[in-house]
Chain A
Amino acid sequence: MDKPIEKPYAHASNPCRQCMPLGASWAFKGIESCMPVLHGSQGCATYIRRYMISHFREPIDIASSSFDETTVIFGGEANLEKAVLNVHRQYHPRVIGIGTTCLSETIGDDVDRFIIRIRDKYPELPPLIPVSTPSYQGTQEEGFLRTVQGTVKTLAGQYQLTEEAIPQSDGPLLNLFMPMITPADIRWLKEVLSRMKIKGTLLPDYSDTLDGGMWSEFHPMPPGGTALEQIIAMDRADGSLELGSDYPAEWRPGYYLQKRFGVPNARCGLPVGIDSTDHFLSILSEITGQEIPGACEQARSRLIDAYGDAHKYLFGKKVVLFGDTSTVEALYRFASEVGLDPVLCFTGSPSGILEKTLEKLPLPEASANPPLIKENFDFGDAEALIEELQPDLLIGNSKGYKISRKMDIPLLRVGFPIHDRFGASRQRMLGYEGTASLLDRVVNEVMERKQSKSTVGYTYI
């Protein structure tokens, strides 16, 4: 990775990102019967639980090794051992995921080594997955991806599977890796794979664990998630597909599987919009040799029809897009397709990926000038710029509301966190149908604004 992008100020004001342990906890929640343990002060687990729950409105348990002052001095091994054992005895998870924090990283705890010793001492423990996620590096996005990669590294091809556990399928076996998307979008991906008769292992799959129904009986761990056996068998897949931005190799699980086990790997951006979804389906068909189902064509056709209908509302409207890299990239491609003019795209991530990716893309039809692309950028930096740009719409997470309110510009909530609107888990934007749903929301936001500001002729808009 190149040197992180410098900020204009020493301090951050109203950040557009969270820390790595949040991403780690989120990814661990997509593994079946997995309890995340954050190795550090108990506040990290509490804050992150609190924050994720306000978005998902679901139970989210995260344990902690609860450091105190002596732990800080003598190291966290004993605390980690206690934490793992207590989690094991109370919840009987099938996997325990361990993310580090700024505290354990600063004192130099060697978690990999601790785990070897703990496993030797207690062979009855389930697999323990260590991931290094210090909060003073990267963002939640990086933490999420590193955790997925760490999970694959720890499990794939590393444990013996019984005969029954080895995945059997008439169709091709595919590993599918996703960045932080909504549970509803994961469900769509599963549906596509099922329609194409592909046996897919999606990782992480939090479509049930972070968006579940009522419980008729008590569950110590919420049902759902990618099964341990499926992850262990990932080295046997016919191929891997990674969705999302062009992240560095050291974050990417598909890249690792290719290098280590020779599983062919492909990558494409999130399938949002016609072009990206076409590309996604083609790659899927190419890797697996399966045909694209006819229903996709109908959905595609309906979406183009909707694009045509929406054009008069959206063309030339200036939008500001913000959030994590993959989401902003996907929104940018979508905005270009539907005739929006993305004047500013920003992310809190300092990785440099967004700029590199967007610069390569053609100038959107509606844009007279290339968009401003900012990384390691926060809302404090963005405020003056947005004031100057006078966009018609903001698309991003709830944290943009302060600017939205101050400048009277509508904010369409997409991404994480969304804590001032309902149904974040059910939002869709992937695939032709998901894009149509996003399009409806964008158009309605623009229409509503036009309607409420019109003094005459507001019945038909």
Chain B
Amino acid sequence: MADTVKTEAVIDKMLEKYPAKVARKRKKAIVVNDKDAQQEIQANVRTVPGIITQRGCTYAGCKGVVLGPTRDIVNLTHGPIGCGFYSWLTRRNQTSVQGQTPENQENFMTYCFSTDMQDSNIVFGGEKKLRQSIEEVYELFHPKAIGVFATCPVGLIGDDIHQVSKECTQKFGDCNVFAFSCEGYKGVSQSAGHHIANNQLFKHVIGTSDDYPEGKYKINLLGEYNIGGDAFVIEDILEKCGITLLSTMSGNSTYKGFASSHHADLNGIMCHRSINYVAEMMETKYGIPWIKVNFIGADASAKSLRKIAQYFGDKELIDRVEKVISEEMVAVEEARKEVLPKTEGKKAMLFVGGSRAHHYQELFKELGMKSMAAGYEFGHRGDYEGREVLPSIKVDADSRNIEELTVVKDEEKFKSRISEEQKTKLEKAGLKFRDYEGLMSDMESDTLVIDDLSHFEMEVLIKEYKPDVFCAGIKEKYAVQKMGVPLKQLHSYDYGGPYAGFEGAVNFYKDIARMTNSKIWDLIGAPWEKEKTLSASVVHDTKKPEKEEKESA
């Protein structure tokens, strides 16, 4: 997108239909990237009513995203039926009980439990129905834990879901019941829900088990949700390397895994947006350092494995990691060689998630494709500009109404994993702790960075740039494809994947090569219609190049 004049014109087009005030607000969320400058982007602010957004709600982020992939916690939605129904396994996070001990085989993910509130519950309160529902679910399944999720009306009618949960925990004795005040209207986006979910997990589950897990090089993987089986791939790689994965938060996860995750010696963060606060709190309370990792992209996966090995600093591990990487890269290189002629020089746009719009650029780089525009659906400024801007972000009303936990060192369970001296040494060698540089520094100059892209703005981008592939979600997919541009869903992976790790990279290469070289779009326009256009253009303009005729057909 070297044509700055055009870029400015496109931005104007995106904004021209908005009332002046809305246009001013949206303008701050659109940045023409300059790699070398510290630019500011507006992010994590309320979507203007009537602007069709990609964003979901707080409940979706809490129940659907964070707690959804944990198989042995019963999720009970407290509210009318819709919210429970729409979050019923819709995120395609997977779980596998194969090879698990019987106590780890419980799987409630295929269920949708709801208190199914009716108007009488809205008028007279829903606590009684909630209590009865929790008791019923407990009697039916005897689960280890039950999570209660508030929907919009709950906060208004004043049901005390936390008290009901507490009383149930006491009554049952062997089942941990805890609640989430994740009413849909609470935050700017689903991001608020992630925060609420993580806070409650931290308060009620993480660190509650004293069982000391066996194994060498113990880590947790935070912010990996096992869409399309990504976590399975990562689990395999880590196992090959001899790294013990105690818990993934929360792809293919279990209650027990969360409860004993404080025994890990390192936290690796995949999705910085959704979970960085858990890593921070775990460091303060238990002394576990965290680093940013990324298993999307073969090169990025290799880099992440090397970072983990570098942290532990054990030659045995370092050698084994190198061996695994070189073995895995054979198939990757082969696949890359095959698809490169089909993908090189093509253009992609990515508007998704809180980390995916960044991570997936790695895969496009490997395919020789340029990411010409990108942005998050629910990212914050730190996810764009890097963590160094965090102290300068002002706390607004929306952030203030999400509980900020005060965490202190747990004198009993705190263990210093690494001395300051070692840490400095590692940092000098390039291993950065508590660091994330954000999306903007990784994107080329003159590319577009847009936060909370609206449906309308997206349509302008497609029309003006016709990228070779557009990455977003199901809500955007069919609108984009109507205009002849293939869309890759990066929420559900179009029911494909996995895309993580080395194996996943190969899958992604193949999928993108297939999508960007499809002949389907050439069939648009019946041949007799095309002929008409052709003869008309021959009459009027004999010099019109063939390509344009095809486009106008």
Contacts and interface: CB of A to CB of B under 8 A. Distances in A.
A49 B472 CA distance: 14
A273 interface: no
A47 B151 contact: no
Given A89-B17, A101-B152, A214-B524, A63 B186 contact: no
A218 B122 contact: no
B79 interface: yes
**Listed residue (B52, B54, B87) with the most chain A CB atoms within 10 angstroms of its CB:** B52
B151 to A, nearest CB: 7
Contacts of B22: 86
A86 to B, nearest CB: 3
Contacts of B112: 12-15
Interface string B148-188: 00011101110000000000000000000000000111100
A27 interface: no
Nearest to A139: B81
Interface string B97-138: 000000000000011111111110110000001001100110
A43 B151 CA distance: 10
B483 A218 contact: yes
Interface stretch (A3-11, A250-258, A442-450): A3-11
Interface string B26-51: 00000000000000000000111111
Given A19-B85, A67-B185, A102 B151 contact: yes
Contacts of B51: 63, 86, 90
Contact of B50 (A7, A12, A46, A85): A85
A41 B22 CA distance: 19
Interface in A21-50: 21-22, 37, 40-50
Interface stretch (B57-65, B275-283, B538-546): B57-65
B143 interface: no
B474 interface: yes
A54 B475 CA distance: 9
A65 B478 contact: no
B50 A10 contact: no
Given A12-B113, A43-B56, A135-B82, A86 B152 contact: no
Interface stretch (A75-83, A317-325, A339-347): A75-83
B18 to A, nearest CB: 7
B547 to A, nearest CB: 16
A9 B136 contact: yes
A137 B81 CA distance: 9
Contact of A218 (B83, B129, B463): B463
A71 B117 contact: no
Interface string A375-417: 0000010000000000000000000001000000000000000
**Listed residue (A14, A43, A89) with the most chain B CB atoms within 10 angstroms of its CB:** A43
A64 interface: yes
> Interface extent on A, as a size class?
35 or more
B80 interface: yes
Given A41-B152, A214-B524, A15 B18 contact: no
B95 to A, nearest CB: 15
A106 to B, nearest CB: 4
Given A19-B80, A46-B60, A136-B118, A65 B474 contact: no
**Listed residue (A50, A71, A80) with the most chain B CB atoms within 10 angstroms of its CB:** A50
A18 B456 contact: no
A18 B119 contact: no
A298 interface: no
Contacts of B60: 43, 46-47
Nearest to B59: A43
Contact of A19 (B55, B82, B184, B553): B82
Interface string B185-221: 1100000000000000000000000000000000000
B180 to A, nearest CB: 14
Nearest to B552: A216
Contacts, number: 230
**Listed residue (B47, B81, B82, B455) with the most chain A CB atoms within 10 angstroms of its CB:** B82
A18 B86 contact: yes
Interface in A63-109: 63-72, 79-80, 82-87, 89-91, 101-103, 106-107
B136 A10 contact: yes
A134 interface: yes
B17 A90 contact: yes
A460 interface: no
A88 to B, nearest CB: 8
B482 A214 contact: yes
A411 to B, nearest CB: 15
A46 B17 contact: no
A102 B18 contact: no
A220 B50 contact: no
A187 interface: no
A43 B58 contact: yes
Contacts of B122: 102, 106, 136
B401 interface: yes
B474 A50 contact: yes
B431 interface: no
A41 B478 contact: no
A457 B17 CA distance: 68
Contact of A136 (B80, B401, B483): B80
A10 B397 contact: no
B56 A136 contact: no
B28 to A, nearest CB: 17
**Listed residue (B22, B51, B186) with the most chain A CB atoms within 10 angstroms of its CB:** B51
A62 interface: yes
B238 interface: no
A15 B136 contact: no
27 contacts: A12-B116, A15-B114, A47-B56, A47-B57, A47-B60, A53-B477, A57-B478, A59-B482, A61-B455, A62-B52, A63-B51, A65-B49, A66-B50, A69-B185, A69-B398, A80-B49, A83-B49, A84-B50, A89-B17, A89-B19, A90-B18, A102-B151, A106-B122, A136-B80, A136-B122, A218-B459, A348-B81
Given A48-B86, A89-B19, 7 more contacts: A12-B114, A14-B112, A66-B53, A79-B49, A84-B50, A90-B17, A218-B463
Interface of B: 17-19, 22, 46-60, 76, 79-88, 90, 110-119, 121-122, 129, 132-133, 136-137, 151-153, 155-157, 183-186, 397-398, 401, 455-456, 459, 462-463, 473-475, 477-479, 482-484, 524-525, 553
Interface of A: 4, 7, 9-15, 17-19, 21-22, 37, 40-51, 53-54, 57-72, 79-80, 82-87, 89-91, 101-103, 106-107, 134-137, 139, 212, 214-216, 218-220, 348, 380, 402
5 A-B pairs with least C-beta separation: A43-B57, A19-B82, A86-B50, A59-B479, A83-B50
